Structure 1
């Protein structure tokens, strides 16, 4: 009888333990499911937030020109994008309790141009309108430096959509969709704007695609974007962009097969100095080789679409105010100063014009800082891709400027040089 009673009690206890274990397992499963849902919601929120900021800061320029009402609306959306990026950054540093050293260094240039915009004859409002979107793009990257895969994927996907729409417009309207008139009449305008505006969208998409080509999940779409960028640069007759893209592809190939060991941050800087100073100097001195390069190879006019006149005029103005420059001029002042165009068509000359010697020194300091960061991690493939990207940027900087309001993603690419190791760890780990 006692044996039966003990057996009964033990069976009851074992059932209770078993039921309790099942309940605990259910609780664990429920807690895991709820945490997964929370993580998923956070990822969706972050994705949407990044997308909203990028859309606000990087609208398709041609669409705004074709629909004037939309242009007015988007001016407020840019303010919204700046506001969201600043608030999000402040929230992130409040949680992390740290401010990135790289952001402080890069901020030196933005602070310098804002201070110089306070001098008589400069337009402080134009300075804020031009440089704040660029700085907001850096704040976005700084906020999402621990979620680089999501950030890159959102930007990559957004640019892919814009590139597809622009390609359709190029095929339907090979001679341009509309005319834009400032002092000069421009016909080669499409969804992304005038042909020289293509680089604001195509080049960042091209570089992100190079990064993703080493990342198995996005190889097909990345290869497609590389081809589309080359095609659109060709169809849009943006030959400088096309040359830069081809140079980047060759450098990428030779570095991949380890046959270009001479290409490193030091040789990159030396080459860029020679290109930036040499090309302008040789052209102003009317050296025949440069004329042949422009007219026969790049299909440009002998005056390089008037750039020689603009460079000469800019150098005269720089000589008048060599130390502090003229600050950021209003759009009307710029068209008068640069003979009907809004800038000097050379990045170094533009920095000297706006900031004088002081601005150039600060600008060179941040370039030096980024190249030092790159040299420390040059053994990483990501670092080599970013160096190629920055090299390409400064080649374009010989005939264009990199401080447009629309250069948000161009500056973000430059900023990647400060975080190549973190990018590599997150994408390729």
Structure 2
């Protein structure tokens, strides 16, 4: 019948496999919902294991690097006497998600990207429609659907980059992109999440210059961009280079060069990390290792947090993932310029990682897998 709603079975299958792995933080506080998500994730993990044993699903070398990282942290935790069953459970879930997404991308191509964008847009939309100035409408205590206000950017930035990439590459998903942008930016403005707003401005600012600069520097542009962003991020944490611009930061931006006290945290964190810099401490105390005054917290920096968990060895394993993804995307950008959106997205995430921990979640993991497998999205096989 004309005008009837048609649901593609492949799309529905992909959606049902993926959505359990993106459980919003607030759902973990509701027993029945949390148990349902756990049951669904367990079912998918079990199905993946069976497929692997049947040799129907192959584990890529890219996924093996991530597996090695997670198993290394578990091993270090065991040796240090801080083994955490919760971290092991999370590792199994994330490894399963990793293998699942790669398998689905190779089987269905851009359909997977479309469903990922839809899932992300749904979560961001629910986050904004349940918003109140004091927290989620059901429990206004300063927490939102995705947790504290700064955690929303962990989903929003990858979602913006992926949906824009999908929209520009295939001229589809404009409504999904609109939902993501309106939901994310509305929340950032309502709560005035300065870091997220700055990163969003950076993303679209660099994107607007991309066409002009790319013509002159071509693929080298993206490599230089990532290098500069990483150098600046490390410079802020280890060398306090932001003090060079103290007048600009304090007088005109009305911000402190200590980045709301984070530089004090980093000084303590660096001293702690130095003591076990080769293998790290493992997943100790839920990642809280910086003691200040009467509380203990995380380092509020991705570089230091990764060093704390796995030291130099763990960091090398972990950062191999974005390095390999960057290499793949730069090569693909020669043929498909829209891949540059993903590289600019990663640069934006790296900026966020200076003051937050943004790479230890399913959203970033999904983003980096999509980056590495970007070439598959342009394959138009029968099943794609």
Q: Normalised by the size of structure 1, how large is the TM-score?
A: 0.75
Q: Select which of 76, 79, 82 maps to 1:116.
A: 76
Match of 1:152 in 2: 113
Name 1:16's counterpart in structure 2. Answer: none
- Equivalent-residue separation in structure 2 for 1:153 and 1:166 (angstroms): 20
| SS of residue matched to 2:80 | coil
Which of 233, 238, 244 does residue 199 from structure 2 map onto? 244
Residue 194 (1) aligns with residue 151 (2): no
1:190-210 Cα shifts (integer Å, max 9, x gaps): 233211110233223212221
Q: What are the superposed Cα offsets for residues 139-197 of structure 1, whole Å, 9 maximum, x if unpaired?
A: 22112012133322222222222222322233xx22434899xxxxx964323321111
Q: 1:133 to 1:294 in 2, by over 3 A?
A: farther
Superposition pairs of residues 106-145 of structure 1, within 5 angstroms: 106-145=66-105
Shift in CA distance, 86/152, structure 1 to aligned 2, threshold 3 Å: farther
Cα gap change, 1:343 to 1:194, in 2 (>3 Å): same
**Is the aligned partner of 1:59 residue 2:20?**
no
Report if the CA contact (8 A) 2:213-2:221 is conserved: no
**Corresponding residue for residue 276 of structure 1:** 233
Counterpart for residue 397 of structure 1: 353
- The answer on whether the counterparts of 1:248 and 1:392 sit within 8 Å (CA) in structure 2 is yes
Task: Verify: 1:253 aligned to 2:253, yes or no.
Answer: no
Cα distance change, pair 114–402 in 1 and its aligned pair in 2 (3 A): farther
2 CA distance for matches of 1:426 and 1:290? 52
**Structure 1 residues without counterparts, runs of 5 or longer:** 1-39, 181-185
Does the alignment pair 1:50 with 2:14? yes
Q: For residue 422 of structure 1, what is the aligned residue in structure 2?
A: 376
Shift of 1:402: 3.1
For 1:48 and 1:92, how far apart are their aligned partners in 2? 22
- Residues 109 and 379, structure 2, Cα contact 8 Å, conserved in 1: no
- Contact 1:82 1:132 (8 Å CA) reproduced: no
- Cα distance in 1 for partners of 2:94, 2:300 equals 19
SS in 1 for 2:143: strand
| Pair 410,163 (structure 1): closer, same or farther in 2 beyond 3 Å | same
SS of residue matched to 2:161:
helix
Q: Could you tell me how far apart the structure 2 residues matched to 1:73 and 1:179 are?
A: 15
Q: Distance in 1 between matches of 2:133 and 2:143?
A: 10
Distance 1:101 1:358, change over 3 A: closer
Q: Distance between the aligned counterparts of 1:343 and 1:110, measured in 2?
A: 19
Determine helix, strand or coil for the equivalent of 1:304. Answer: coil
Cα distance change, pair 76–306 in 1 and its aligned pair in 2 (3 A): farther
Shift of 1:336: 5.8
Distance change in 2, residues 1:252/1:269 (3 Å): closer
**Partners in 1 of 2:50 and 2:215 — Cα distance?**
42
Distance 1:286 1:424, change over 3 A: closer
Matches within 5 A, 1:332-411: 334-335=287-288, 337-339=290-292, 340=295, 342-379=297-334, 380-404=336-360, 407-411=361-365
Report the more deviating stretch, 81-90 or 159-168.
Answer: 81-90
Deviation at 1:371, TM superposition (A): 2.4
8 Å contact kept, 2:242–2:257:
no
User: Which of 152, 159, 167 is the equivalent residue of 1:205?
Assistant: 159
SS in 1 for 2:237: helix
RMSD: 3.3
Correspondent of 1:221 among 176, 179, 197 = 176
Distance 1:108 1:409, change over 3 A: same
Q: Is the 2:110–2:376 contact (alpha carbons within 8 Å) kept by the matching residues of 1?
A: no
Rg larger in structure: 1
- Aligned residue for 2:82, secondary structure, equals coil
Deviation, 1:269, is 3.6
Q: How far did residue 135 of structure 1 move?
A: 2.4
TM-score w.r.t. the length of structure 2 is 0.83
Within 2, Cα distance between the matches of 1:261 and 1:90?
50
Partner of 1:167: 128
Structure 2, unmatched stretches of 5+, are 1-5
